[in-house]
Every structure is written in structure tokens, then in C-alpha cells.
Amino acid sequence: MHVIDPDVSIREGLSALLGSLDIPVTSHANAQYFLDAETPCGWTDGCILVEAKLPGLSCLAFLKRLRSEANTLPVLVLTSTANRDIADQALLAGATDVLDKPLAGDLLVERLYQIFI
């Protein structure tokens, strides 16, 4: 599992939740750090949880880059706004789903279960 969020408390919270389920997690403060740190083989397993509003490379640009490189990892976009435009744009750019923050742990686990089972 890859968590991309500029908020360290979100990264730590999601890492703790997923770690409690024995799901290995890598976390990054922005999308460019993820792209710089991950090798192409690192992009073949798991799922990406990414904040909609990122510094530097935007979430939409990140999604477009992943999909242009034929990367099919599921991407869940996390947003703290109820803005449907952001959600619609993310889905059109290749996101698997958009989840609102604050994110309930049971909702995330349920969504991951739906994706992988």
C-alpha cells in the first residue's frame, strides 16, 4: 500500500491502521517523492491512497502520468472537501474511487476488500 499525503498525521494514521491489518505501507509527502522512490516493479502491487490537494505535482497530473505509463494500480483519492468537481475530475483521470476525509477506518477497509477480493 502506498500513501501519498502532505499531512504527516494522515500518513502516520493510515500507516498505523493498515499496519494493524498486516498490510505493508510506504508513505510519501507528495507524488513526486513517490515517483522518485518507487521502481516500476514497485508499482505492480497494492493500491495507492493519495490526497486530492498535493503540493508540487497535482493529484490529477499524478493520475494522468500513472495511466499514461499503463499503470493499473487502484488509486483511491482522499479529499477533505465535498467538491464534486474534484471527485469527477479524479475519476475521469483514472482514480478507482474518491473517499471523503475524515476517513473512517472501517470504510477504507471495506473499500480495499472490494477492490482486492
- How much is the pLDDT for 44? 65
For residue 67, the SS3 value is: helix
Domain 2-116: homologous superfamily in CATH:
Response regulator (3.40.50.2300)
What is d(CA 6, CA 92) in angstroms, rounded to the nearest whole number? Answer: 23
Q: 477480493: which residue's cell?
A: 117
pLDDT the model gives residue 96: 94
> 80-109 in b/e burial notation, b at 16+ Cβ within 10 A?
eeeeeebbebbeebbbbebbeeebeeeebe
Confidence (pLDDT) at 42: 54
Judge whether 66 and 73 are in contact, CB under 8 Å: yes
Q: Tell me, what amino acid is at 109?
A: V
**pLDDT, tens digit, for every residue of 5-17?**
999 999 999 999 9
pTM (2 d.p.): 0.89
